[in-house]
Structures are given as C-alpha cells and as structure tokens.
Amino acid sequence: MPYTIALAGKGGSGKTTMAGLLVKYLVRHSKTPILAVDADCNANFNEVLGLEVKDTLGNAREDMKKGVVPGGMTKDIFMEMKLEECMIEAPGFDLVVMGQPEGAGCYCAANSLLAGFMERLANNYPYIVMDNEAGMEHISRLTTKNVDILLIVADTSRRGLQAALRIDDLARSLNIGVGKSYVVINQVKNGLSEKALEMIDTAGLELAGTVPEDETVYNYDFNGQPTIEMPENSPSVQAAFKIFEKIMV
C-alpha cells in the first residue's frame, strides 16, 4: 500500500505550494514514483508542478454521460481509456486531476471516480500526495480518507488557524482513517505568538513546523514559474524540507 499524504487548509494558506514542495522533497530523496493528485475542483496543482493539463477525470465522466463512446466499445473500456489519457507523466511523478462537472452540480460523482481511480493505481506508487480543495468540503464528502498523514496548512491569521483546527476536529469526528494529523503554519514573519501556540496545544494538534514568508515564492508565482523549481537554498524550501524530514518516518 502507498504512503499517502493529504494536504488541507483555508484558501490562500499556501496549501498547493506546500504540496508541490512535498513532491519536490520526495523526488529529491528518490522516494519515487509518486502519484500527485489534484482533488481541488479549482485545479492549479499542475501550475505548481510545471505541467499542462489536457484532460481531467471530470471531463471523462462528462464525455461518457454525453454518449461520446465509439461504436463497438463498452462504457467500461471507454472510461478505462479516458482515465489513462488523464494521467500526466513527469520525471519521478505522475499527476491526475479530478476536475469538475460542467455547470452547477454535485461533485460526488467526480469524487467517486477519483477514489476508484486512486484505488486501482495505488499499488503502482509507494507515495501519493493529494492536494485537496480549500475548506472542509472534501472531508465531509469523504474525498480525504484512509491517509497516513493529514497535513493541514494555515497562515498566521487567527481565522486561518481556527480553520485548521476545525479541519482536524472534523476529520477526527468522522473517523475517516487518518494516521496522523499535523499543522504547518505558513508565511510566518516574526515567529508564532504565545496565543497561537496555546490554541494548537489546547486542540491537541501537533505543530510540524513553520515556513517563513519568502519573496521567492511570490516571484515564482507572479511570473508563472513552477514553484517546484525554486532553489533548495530558498528559506521556504529549506523550512518545508525540514518539516517533511520530521513527519516522513
């Protein structure tokens, strides 16, 4: 079975950037191949990883619903073919993007398709890194379940930390099979306040570490450069790698 790390957090906390740095860390330490999963309907994990998305699992399902199945091909075989086409290959890792249904509607079908796809491919990868959508919907829909590590990313704001603690509390209450939960505080300027440390300690959530505010992240993002390509001597990369060394036993 693969070692699965799922990332969660409030929008704007740097969750996807952290997921990209985790992939970078795993590749750097030859912990490959990795299955990178973008389970966010607002997909942008590929941009962090420097990959172009040509198709998604959501699009594959929409094609099947519209009856775009070649003559003589069963729906099962068609979906198998479409799912394979959704896989994006890169050195050391592959990426699959959940995507979303056309127009308004429930994401449950796309979630189920993603879960089935991951289960079928699980034994091909020793590591899975799943970038989830912001907030808690992915947990309440049970998209995130049976993971070894739930890495919750928060910024330094009180609301960001409260969101992280609520995500952890929901994961515990639903008993979705999380081996260990950690919180990472991102974009830190002058260390954490005593109040922040008290909130984390009271909630019983372990602090994996902090990542400093880093101009390199902003510059790469603003210029459309994949943040996975940031130099390893960047403060944020060094801090993230230290965290991953701690949690990846």
> What would the DSSP string read from start to end of 74-97?
-HHHHHHHHHHHH-EEETTEEEEE
Q: Which residues of the chain have pLDDT under 70?
A: 63-69, 75, 100-118, 134-145, 176, 249
- Residue-wise pLDDT tens digits, 101-111: 555 455 555 56
Q: What is the pLDDT of residue 150?
A: 93
pLDDT in tens, 166-205: 988 888 787 767 889 999 999 999 889 899 999 999 999 9
Burial class (CB in 10 A: 0-12, 13-18, 19+), 127: buried
Q: Name the residue ranges covered by the structural domains of the chain.
A: 3-247
The 8-class DSSP code of residue 189 comes to S
* Residue 161 Cα distances to 65, 166, 171, 186, 198, angstroms: 41, 9, 16, 10, 11
Sign for the pseudo-dihedral over CA of 166, 172, 177, 178: positive
Q: What is the pLDDT of residue 46?
A: 95
Beta carbons of 161 and 128 less than 8 angstroms apart: no
Instruction: Say if CB 55 and CB 68 are below 8 A apart.
Output: no
Give the per-residue pLDDT at 144. 56
In this prediction the pTM is 0.87
CA distance 159 to 67: 45
Question: What token pair was written down for 153?
Answer: 């990313």
Q: What confidence score (pLDDT) does residue 33 get?
A: 96
For the chain, the farthest-separated pair of C-alpha atoms sits apart, in whole angstroms, at 66
As assigned by CATH, the class of the 3-247 domain is alpha beta
Task: Quote the pLDDT of residue 142.
Answer: 47
